[in-house]
């Protein structure tokens, strides 16, 4: 069973397929022994037998194989007078990537991959340190041979190729293989898929941008709602404060009685409670009552009438002036006391009932 097929088309072209592991020219060899395949010499002989060719269409799908057999096949195809078109149908791995590079054109199909790595070799038996070092040197020489061909056919520098190989099994899809010089083209199906992917990517990008904008606008709307709600709460609070200022709540009667008793004006508690005054007003009037009491005592005048006018500053001032005049003019004092005795009975309740709350 051969690992390759070669067939002439009768028009100067030939179809060649490598679809298995690359067999070795060296015998005995693990590849030949294990797989029972024909050697690389058989491949070259089969292509030569196809006659004078102008184009060779090589379909490639291989995991690799014998290194120097692969290099020999690659050089054979590179130096062939026919134009060589290589198509990677699935995998061009290991030494298969070297054979791929023999193509004048190198096209990758859907899902195909190229894989490059450092060469490896096995040992079986007992060896001295010197034997092992010599073996390692031979593996290095094989690596150098592969790198020479990679550099010559890809256009990459030796440094970049060595860096690539140092990464282990290095897989390349069509775009990466083209970028690195391993492939020259990809199938029309891949191109169409790429165009479709690009269009889809652009559409998805527009959709994501629109979604982002919508989220941003929703965020702004939510923030605006919060501001409106906050402003509404502030307005309600201010309205409540204004209403409380315009219509202050009357202090409880028990609190009024307690406050008046503490200030030393228990006799004012009843009329203040009946007037339904807010506590702030009661405190202000008790403070004023205390000042009037101190002033009346200092001037030796009667404070009783003035206490009846705590809610009316004008009446309070008028009464204070009359008391002051009466203290120095007996006639004024007589008339004043007569008027005061006539009006005193209803003065307390009248004073508190007409005050501004």
Q: Choosing from 24, 69, 94, 97, which is the catalytic residue?
A: 94
Tokens of 110: 């859907």
What does the alpha-carbon distance between residue 270 and residue 260 come to, in Å, rounded to a whole number?
9
Judge whether 275 and 349 are in contact, CB under 8 Å: no
> Strand 55-62 relative to strand 105-108: parallel, antiparallel, unpaired?
unpaired
Reduced to 3 states (helix: H, G, I; strand: E, B; else coil), residue 65 is strand
Tokens of 96: 């298969």
Query: Residue 116's closest CA among 149, 76, 51, 164?
Result: 164
Dihedral Cα 141, 142, 148, 149, nearest 10 deg: 170
Query: Residue 6's closest CA among 38, 48, 61?
Result: 48
Q: Choosing from 85, 117, 309, 319, which is the catalytic residue?
A: 117
* 85 among known catalytic residues: no
* 117 among known catalytic residues: yes
Angle separating helix axes 67-79 and 129-154, nearest 10 degrees: 20
Dihedral Cα 311, 317, 323, 325, nearest 10 deg: -170
- Evaluate the CA torsion angle 251, 255, 261, 263 in order and state its sign: negative
Half-sphere exposure at residue 301, Cβ-oriented, CA atoms within 13 angstroms: 24
What does the alpha-carbon distance between residue 46 and residue 41 come to, in Å, rounded to a whole number?
9
The one-character DSSP state at 127 is: -
Positions marked active-site: 94, 117
């Amino acid at each position: 069973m051969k690992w390759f097929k070669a067939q002439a088309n009768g028009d100067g072209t030939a179809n060649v397929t490598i679809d298995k592991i690359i067999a070795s020219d060296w015998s005995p060899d693990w590849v030949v022994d294990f797989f029972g395949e024909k050697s690389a010499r058989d491949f070259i002989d089969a292509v030569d037998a196809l006659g004078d060719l102008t184009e060779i269409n090589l379909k490639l799908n291989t995991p690799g194989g014998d290194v120097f057999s692969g290099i020999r096949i690659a050089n054979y195809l590179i130096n062939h007078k026919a134009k060589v078109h290589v198509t990677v149908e699935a995998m061009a791995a290991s030494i298969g990537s070297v054979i791929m590079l023999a193509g004048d054109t190198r096209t990758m199909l859907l899902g195909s991959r190229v894989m490059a790595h450092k060469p490896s070799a096995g040992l079986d038996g007992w060896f001295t340190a010197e034997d092992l070092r010599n073996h390692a040197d031979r593996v290095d020489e094989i690596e150098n041979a592969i790198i020479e061909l990679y550099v010559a056919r890809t256009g990459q520098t030796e440094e970049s190729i060595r860096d690539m190989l140092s990464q282990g099994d290095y897989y390349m899809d069509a775009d990466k293989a083209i970028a690195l010089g391993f492939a020259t083209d990809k199938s029309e199906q891949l191109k169409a898929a790429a165009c479709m992917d690009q269009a889809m990517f652009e559409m998805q990008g527009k959709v994501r941008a629109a979604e982002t904008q919508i989220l941003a606008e929703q965020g702004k709307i939510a923030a605006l709602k919060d501001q409106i709600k906050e402003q509404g709460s502030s307005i309600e609070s201010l309205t409540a404060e204004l209403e409380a200022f315009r219509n202050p709540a009357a202090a409880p009667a028990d609190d009024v009685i307690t406050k008046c008793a503490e200030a030393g004006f228990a006799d004012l508690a009843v009329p203040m409670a009946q007037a339904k005054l807010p506590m702030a007003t009661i405190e202000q009037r008790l403070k004023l009552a205390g000042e009037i009491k101190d002033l009346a005592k200092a001037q030796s005048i009667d404070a009783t009438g003035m206490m009846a006018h705590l809610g009316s500053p004008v009446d309070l001032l008028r009464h204070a002036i009359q008391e002051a005049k009466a203290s120095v003019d007996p006639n004024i004092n007589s008339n004043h006391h007569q008027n005061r005795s006539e009006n005193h009975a209803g003065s307390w309740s009248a004073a508190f009932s007409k005050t501004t709350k």
